[in-house]
Amino acid sequence: MKIVVIGGTGLVGSKTVERLRKRGHEVIAASPNSGVNTITGEGLAEALAGAQVVLDLANSPSFEDKAVLEFFETSGRNLLAAEKVAGVKHHVALSVVGTERLQESGYFRGKLAQEKLIRTSGIPYTIVHSTQFMEFLNGIAQSGTVGQTVRLSPAYVQPIASDDVADAMADVALSAPANKTIEISGPERARLSDLVARYLKAMKDPRTVEADAEARYFGARLNDQSLVSNDNPRLGTITFEEWFAKSASRSD
């Protein structure tokens, strides 16, 4: 089967491409660097010719409200239009658990706009809602840092390792379209402020974490339901400790 992975050179994309190729499929790792650009449309028709499945794993290069919305709307329209011409049978997109609950955030408004385009496209689809990646913990810490203090919400999170995400995306790509949203989550639930404190301690980072219920998460106020799955998700198997040990060994 020919499968095109948009964002195929990114964190999850590269791992998903590797898994699908190991299963014997023809996989195109599509990105602007490989001459496929969903914003300009460059290379889309050529990449999608003969493809049965498209995975959209691309992310906006900017988190600024207007830029995010423009990215997901423009990319989504161009990609879905090209898929119709190519006769693609299954569109798979990676999105975020809690997208519909976090519309204070410009990023999540962009993701919701992307999802609406998919649902109304007429192309069979599966939208995968994932919880936050463990690989994003450093960025989350940075987003709440002022001086040597990190202020973060104590709301619950259930982070997932990118390896577990790639396993799930490969399985979904090879399954029949669900024509709905499915959810994937990490194996353990923790409070965001506590988890980032554990991460910084493990990194020997001197910053201290303060739990602040009013602290914003990329523009949105959180509660205990905002970022966790309540819909019988597929659970990853990699714990925070296992992920950290593996990522630390890679950086040695």
Give tens-digit pLDDT for 231-246: 789 999 999 999 999 9
Q: What letter would DSSP give residue 160?
A: B
Mean of the pLDDT values across residues 139-152? Answer: 95
**For residue 230, what pLDDT is reported?**
79
Averaged pLDDT, 107-131: 97
Task: State residue 196's pLDDT score.
Answer: 97
**What confidence tens digit (pLDDT) does each residue in 205-216 have?**
999 999 999 999
What is the predicted pLDDT for the residue at 251? 53
Asked whether residue 38 carries a pLDDT value surpassing 80, the answer given is yes
Instruction: Report the 10 Å Cβ neighbour count for 233.
Output: 21
DSSP at 236: P
Per-residue confidence at 247, pLDDT binned at 50, 70, 90? confident
Q: What is the pLDDT of residue 63?
A: 85
- How far, in Å, CA of 80 to CA of 124, rounded? 11
Q: For residues 113 and 243, what is the distance between their CA atoms, to the nearest angstrom?
A: 32
Ordered alpha helix ranges (H), the chain: 11-22, 44-48, 65-86, 106-119, 137-143, 162-173, 192-202, 240-251
| pLDDT tens-place string over residues 84-109 | 999 999 999 999 999 999 999 999 99
Please tell me the predicted confidence (pLDDT) of residue 231: 74
8-state DSSP, 122: S
Sheet holding 125-130, edge to edge: 26-30, 2-6, 53-56, 90-96, 125-130, 181-185, 234-235
Q: Does 194 score more than 90 pLDDT?
A: yes
Residue 248 has pLDDT above 90, yes or no: no
Task: Give pLDDT, residue 135.
Answer: 95
Please give the pLDDT value at position 119.
98
Select the more confidently predicted residue: 218 or 128.
128
Q: How would residue 252 be classed by pLDDT, with cut points 50, 70 and 90?
A: very low
**Mean pLDDT across 77-88:** 98
